[in-house]
Amino acid sequence: MRNPDELKTVVEEAIERFAFWPELNGQTASMRYALAEMGGKRVRPVICLATGEACGAPVEQVMPAALAIELVHNFSLVHDDLPSLDDDDERRGKPSVWAAYGEGTAVLAGDGLLAEAFRLAASYPSPHVARELAEMTLGMIGGQYLDTMVDGADLKAVHRLKTGCLFSASVAMALWASGVPESEQGAWRAFGDELGLLFQVVDDILDQDGFFVSEGADGARRLADEAAARAHERLGEVSVDTAVLDGIVSALATRAV
């Protein structure tokens, strides 16, 4: 099984090779900028591929699902950065898509990334991968709504939707793509749910906002450690080798960037 760095390299190669739908015409420039040139940690597709490998599926089989997740993640960043939402003109030290290509093109770029994600998810013989992606995307949009449009929205609900949904989907889509029957998905899905919480709490600690403010430094650290412990526990309940995923959990819990 590949380690996370190797999986990230495989994801980057797949992103480089990814052929956008030709009828998008020149719209693809801004989409490629968002997806490839702006970079990213690729943590969601790596989790997706690592889950697939743990379940015995070849990387090529899970890659469309992994790319779909990364495309949805990028869609959400492109739209969230818009002046009418978070109004960020920079991301990862580069101009955000609207700052580089204009606001209208950025709206369409996000739309295109979302539609490409569904094209990838619908490339599987069964519709489960696409269903999972649609439901998780809807949850994520609801989270962004609560976060940007509702004063005093419950932080836990916002995080569970805005961040958690895509982490849950990273695991769940890998299960469907690998052919794991629904009856064996329980512990895996509980694992996916913990990952989102873990990622977000650590994000808040690093950014000193969110849970860092509401729970204090120690409280937030405890929340992160508890989520990591539960994630390891859920992995202990599945009957395959989860060493790579355990490593990812530990790395997420202790990451400094």
Q: How many residues bind its own copies, per CB under 8 A?
A: 52
The DSSP call for residue 55 is T
Q: Minimal distance in Å, beta carbon 161 to its own copies?
A: 6
Measured CA distances, 36 to 29, 41, 47, 76, 104 (Å): 10, 11, 18, 15, 20
Among 130, 166, 172, 231, binds its own copies (CB under 8 A): 130
Q: How far is it, in rounded angstroms, from Cα 103 to Cα 129? A: 31
**82 binds its own copies per the rule CB under 8 A:** yes
**154 binds its own copies per the rule CB under 8 A:** no
**149 binds its own copies per the rule CB under 8 A:** yes
Q: Which amino acid is at 174?
A: A
Length of the chain: 257
The DSSP call for residue 91 is E
Among 12, 88, 135, 226, binds its own copies (CB under 8 A): 135
**123 binds its own copies per the rule CB under 8 A:** yes
Q: Minimal distance in Å, beta carbon 118 to its own copies?
A: 4
**26 binds its own copies per the rule CB under 8 A:** yes
Token look-up 């120690």 returns 218
Interface with its own copies (CB under 8 A): 21, 23-27, 75, 79, 82, 84-85, 102-108, 110-112, 114-116, 118-119, 121-127, 130-131, 133-135, 137-139, 141-146, 148-150, 161, 165
